[in-house]
Amino acid sequence: MREDLPGLFDLLNSGQAHGRFEPARLTQARLRVGMKKTDLAAEVGVSAAAIGQYEASVNSPRPDVLDRLAKVLDVRPEFFGAGRPLARVDTVHAHFRSLRSARVSDRQRALATATLIWELTFTLEKYVKLPEVDLPTVEKGTTPADAAALLRAHWDLPDGPVKHLTATAESRGIVIVVRPLAEINAVDAFSTVIVERPIVVSTPRRSENVFRHRFSIAHEIGHLLLHADSEEYSSAAEKEADSFAAAFLTPAASMDAVLPQRLDLAALDRVSRTWGVSPHALVRRMVERGRTTESSARRAYQRLKMLEDPNADPTSAYPGERPTLLTKAAELAADHGAGVPALAQALRISPRHIRDLLGDADQRPALRLVGDE
């Protein structure tokens, strides 16, 4: 067990009463909805200093204030109680694939979401045995290409395309979820490990195109293997994760056998659909394998952009790329009497939130009392 686990997991066996206020829960709920302390204070009717004191464990909110906090943050009042597993946001580190506009608050919001996903995973494991985490140990200094070959061998993947990448990763214990842009905002995708459970979070920006989705998942797996001990963002680490994804999805030896000798977009399109990577990625691979020049590649990118048809994404040709691990686990748990209401009670959130975390939007109509405007 990692040395930092007690800090993440310090409430599992604490025996504290559920009624006691846990300051870290307020931080988690506030960050998850992207609220500043000043904004929350204004909504609740207290000072910003009071919110800071609640989160710093200097003071605890009165029952009436706790109720208002719960209403504004869209959780149950008992959500703030201590005595159940909690991965503190400030102790969780992740590798972010972010846009330039990503701010610290964007990352904090993403991490708050990841901690709640981990709690759901932990709760499900009380009823369903999830796959054990099965990732090889990669020695420091290993090249991305060698790490990719090591993972292929460790997972006993045959030569050729990696079919059903998402399903394969989930079968090896990696939790993969796609969260809405409104929640993650400027963060494209990220990965983290919470209490030894790898979690990869993506967004529609990365997942609406199956090629981009597969590369992004492979990119995040690269971070999990190559940068497990690294906490700071760096362009070098991002390039290494990209190199890992390229080597894992399109091994050099295989590409030497299937790539055309010269730039041929029609031929690349056929290879693209077989290997589940974009033509853009294959053009880059041709440059790396010495099949074409950078200037020719730039011209090819321009032609591809002109030819690109957003409606031509062959997603249906790639089954196994939609995350299903948590959904299937929830279905099995429900078969054993632990349905959505039981999971909601365990996490102290609403059933609607559970369905949302599972990727199952609540289609029921919202009802209001007549005259409640």
SS3 annotation, the chain: CCCCHHHHCCCCCCCCCCCCECHHHHHHHHHHCCCCHHHHHHHHCCCHHHHHHHHCCCCCCCHHHHHHHHHHHCCCHHHHECCCCCCCHHHCCEEEEECCCCCHHHHHHHHHHHHHHHHHHHHHCCCCCCCCCCCCCCCCCCCHHHHHHHHHHHCCCCCCCCCCHHHHHHHCCCEEEECCHHHHCCEEEEEEEECCEEEEEECHHHHCCHHHHHHHHHHHHHHHHHCCCCCCCCHHHHHHHHHHHHHHHCCHHHHHHHCCCCCCHHHHHHHHHHHCCCHHHHHHHHHHCCCCCHHHHHHHHHHHHHHCCHHHCCHHHCCCCCCCHHHHHHHHHHHCCCCHHHHHHHHCCCHHHHHHHCCCCCCCCCCCCCCCC
Question: Which residue, 37, 76, 61, 9, is CA-closest to 347?
Answer: 76
| pLDDT at site 228 | 85
Tell me how far CA of residue 43 lies from CA of 38, 65, 113, 125, 353, in angstroms: 9, 11, 22, 36, 21
Q: pLDDT tens across 99-122, in order?
A: 555 678 888 888 898 999 999 999
287 contacts: CB under 8 Å, gap ≥ 6 = 293, 294, 297
| pLDDT at site 92 | 82
| pLDDT at site 83 | 86
17-82 under CATH 3.40.50.150, yes or no? no
Q: pLDDT tens across 323-351, in order?
A: 999 999 999 999 999 999 999 999 999 99
Could you give the CA distance from residue 33 to residue 355 in angstroms, rounded to a whole number? 17
| pLDDT at site 102 | 67
| Per-10-residue mean pLDDT, the chain, length 373 | 40 45 96 94 96 96 96 95 86 75 79 93 95 96 97 96 94 92 70 93 80 93 90 83 96 95 93 93 94 95 84 65 94 94 94 88 40 39
| pLDDT at site 118 | 95
β-pairing verdict for 197-202 and 187-194: antiparallel
| pLDDT at site 30 | 95
| pLDDT at site 145 | 97
| pLDDT at site 152 | 98
**pTM here?**
0.86
Tokens 């992004």 belong to which residue?
Answer: 216
Does residue 147 contact residue 226 with C-beta atoms inside 8 Å? yes
Q: At what angle do helices 325-335 and 340-347 cross, to 10 degrees?
A: 110
| pLDDT at site 5 | 40
Does residue 124 contact residue 329 with C-beta atoms inside 8 Å? yes
| pLDDT at site 18 | 41
**Range(s) of the chain covered by CATH 1.10.260.40:** 17-82
Strand order in the sheet with 197-202: 94-98, 187-194, 197-202, 175-178
Q: Provide the token pair at 1.
A: 């067990």
| pLDDT at site 161 | 94
For residue 21, which phi and psi values (nearest 5 degrees)? -70, 130
| CA dihedral of residues 23, 26, 31, 36 (deg, nearest 10) | -100
